Chain A
Amino acid sequence: GDSVTQMEGPVTLSEEAFLTINCTYTATGYPSLFWYVQYPGEGLQLLLKATKADDKGSNKGFEATYRKETTSFHLEKGSVQVSDSAVYFCALVSGGSYIPTFGRGTSLIVHP
């Protein structure tokens, strides 16, 4: 079945540091890939998405590129802020069954 693997957290960074959160997946066919963000005490919000190989999703300074050859969708940001502190979820939806599959989430803590 489909699966998503994210790096273990928490990831702790200083403000303005570079961020990478790794995400790899296994899926049948060509899934759509997503990053969701959950701020403290809130629900999940879509951060960015990519629907085909080599697509780059971007939003709020975050980027992720759909890499079919490495089955990866790593999240990056050049300069993090304290307000980016949240839990980040990588997810996929494969064309075979439209049931979203999520990674376990990676907690990001940014210190001033």
Chain B
Amino acid sequence: SQTIHQWPATLVQPVGSPLSLECTVEGTSNPNLYWYRQAAGRGLQLLFYSVGIGQISSEVPQNLSASRPQDRQFILSSKKLLLSDSGFYLCAFPSGNTIYFGEGSWLTVV
């Protein structure tokens, strides 16, 4: 079966510190992968999507970046976090007309 996992589940980071969120998919190959952010009281904002290894498309200019070093691995990073980066980050992939989400990562920048 197809599964998606992301971690860490929660983290509190100081302003200016780096960030790395990881997402892995199992049970499928060469999936499209997505990073979304859900800020407090707001909807889902697409940040990045990837159609294959090393291929990243950015939807929103910001201080975040994404990488896809392996077929089923998708990483969200930042060199220096801002307060506005706080939110709930979700990794997702489509399969068979359905979109599957990871458990989510709560980031609080203090």
A: residues with CB less than 8 A from B are 32, 34, 36, 42-46, 49, 51, 89, 91, 93, 98-100, 102-105
Contacts of B43 in A (CB 8 A): 89, 102-105
Could you say which of B34, B92, B98 has the most chain A C-beta atoms within 10 Å of its C-beta? Answer: B98
B: residues with CB less than 8 A from A are 32, 34, 36, 42-44, 46, 49, 90, 92, 94, 97-104
The secondary structure that dominates the B interface is strand
Contacts of B104 in A (CB 8 A): 42-44
15 contacts between A and B (CB under 8 A): A36-B101, A42-B103, A43-B90, A45-B101, A46-B99, A49-B97, A51-B97, A93-B97, A99-B32, A99-B34, A100-B92, A100-B94, A102-B36, A102-B44, A105-B43
Q: How far is the CB of B17 from chain A (nearest CB, A)?
A: 24
Contacts of A45 in B (CB 8 A): 101
CA distance A32 to B34 in the complex (A): 18
Contacts of A51 in B (CB 8 A): 97
Given contacts A42-B103, A43-B104, A105-B44, 7 further A-B contacts (CB under 8 A): A44-B90, A44-B104, A46-B98, A51-B97, A93-B94, A100-B99, A104-B43
Contacts of A105 in B (CB 8 A): 43-44
